[in-house]
């Protein structure tokens, strides 16, 4: 059995630590909230397996814990990112119907600085070389990242409105099914478009439209208490890939990747600065 890449194990440890932080937060809020987090993990594993079967567009490297062709850490990462994004959007004044749109954009901001570095570290391979489209990452991937998070978050929001037991306990299971179906449909939709102009226009229209919608609604934080995991998750991902990219040197191949990583890190810091400040203040108070 081949040994894991040196950059894989620290990534797996980071993701599992972030997951445990989120799990502690979820459990404190109620066992049904923890179930939502775990449902996000199961959703991540299922959608990765289903997408590989459907498209066969990428292949993962050998991580420490694998479930068939899918590293377990990838499913855990999906669940953790979705949980963090949903908690951030729920702390804003955005109407409920628009929050899944923000969730998708928050997740996408992580991938913009992660994916091109991850493939250079050998974490996964799109099979097209490093000069293909976005430095080796297909543009379809960014479409997919948005729909993955939007589909699960939207499904969970709708199904959670069911009364009593159904809303609390069965809605996460329903979101796994509905979210996966939504991802597979959007995968098929974008890959079935043969015209490059229509293909790329659809990607730009969806992602650009989502961004314009959120900006037009001008979301503001209304809950300033700020749980630590809200900023730890995105900043943890950004910090890891920025650090690993600098140590390995791949973030300078080309240097544009460094610029994107730093910009996305600053955006994450700006979005989560209230939570960071509240966490720092609470640490000083208890210290």
For the chain, which residues make up each domain, given as ranges? 8-222
The pLDDT assigned to 6 comes to 87
Q: What is the pLDDT of residue 1?
A: 46
Which residues, 6+ apart, have CB-to-CB distance to 75 below 8 Å?
A: 41, 42, 43, 44, 45, 48, 67
pLDDT < 50 regions, the chain: 1
The three-state secondary structure class of 133 is coil
What pairing do the DSSP bridges indicate for beta strands 59-60 and 66-67? Answer: unpaired
In this prediction, residue 250 carries a pLDDT of: 95
Which residue from 118, 119, 92, 120 is spatially nearest to 106, judged by alpha carbons? Answer: 92
pTM: predicted TM-score of the whole model, two decimal places: 0.93
How many Å apart are CA 96 and CA 86, to the nearest integer? 11
**Amino acid 204: pLDDT:** 96
């Amino acid at each position: 059995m081949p040994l894991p890449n040196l950059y894989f194990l620290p990534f797996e440890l980071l993701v599992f630590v972030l997951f445990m932080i989120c799990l502690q937060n979820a459990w404190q809020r109620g066992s049904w909230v923890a179930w939502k987090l775990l449902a996000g993990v199961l959703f991540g594993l299922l959608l990765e397996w289903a997408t590989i079967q459907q498209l066969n567009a990428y292949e993962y490297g050998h991580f420490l814990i694998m479930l068939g062709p899918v590293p377990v850490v990838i499913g855990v990462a999906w669940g953790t990112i979705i949980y963090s994004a949903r908690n951030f959007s729920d702390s804003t004044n955005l109407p409920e119907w628009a929050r899944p749109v923000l969730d998708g954009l928050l997740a996408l901001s992580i991938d913009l600085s992660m994916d091109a570095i991850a493939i250079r570290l050998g974490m996964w391979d799109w099979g097209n070389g490093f000069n293909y489209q976005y430095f080796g990452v297909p543009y379809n991937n960014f479409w997919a990242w948005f729909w993955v998070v939007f589909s699960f978050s939207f499904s969970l929001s709708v199904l959670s409105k069911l009364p009593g037991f159904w809303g609390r306990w069965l809605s996460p299971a329903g979101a796994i099914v509905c979210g996966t179906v939504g991802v597979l449909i959007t995968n098929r939709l974008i890959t079935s478009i043969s015209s490059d102009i229509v293909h790329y226009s659809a990607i730009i229209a969806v992602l650009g439209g989502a961004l314009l919608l959120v900006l037009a609604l001008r979301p503001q934080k209304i809950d300033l208490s700020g749980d630590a995991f809200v900023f730890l998750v995105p900043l943890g991902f950004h910090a890891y890939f920025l650090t690993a990219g600098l140590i390995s040197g791949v973030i300078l191949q080309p240097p544009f990747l460094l610029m994107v990583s730093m910009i996305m890190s600053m955006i994450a810091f700006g979005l989560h600065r209230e939570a960071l400040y509240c966490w720092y203040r609470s640490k000083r108070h208890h210290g």
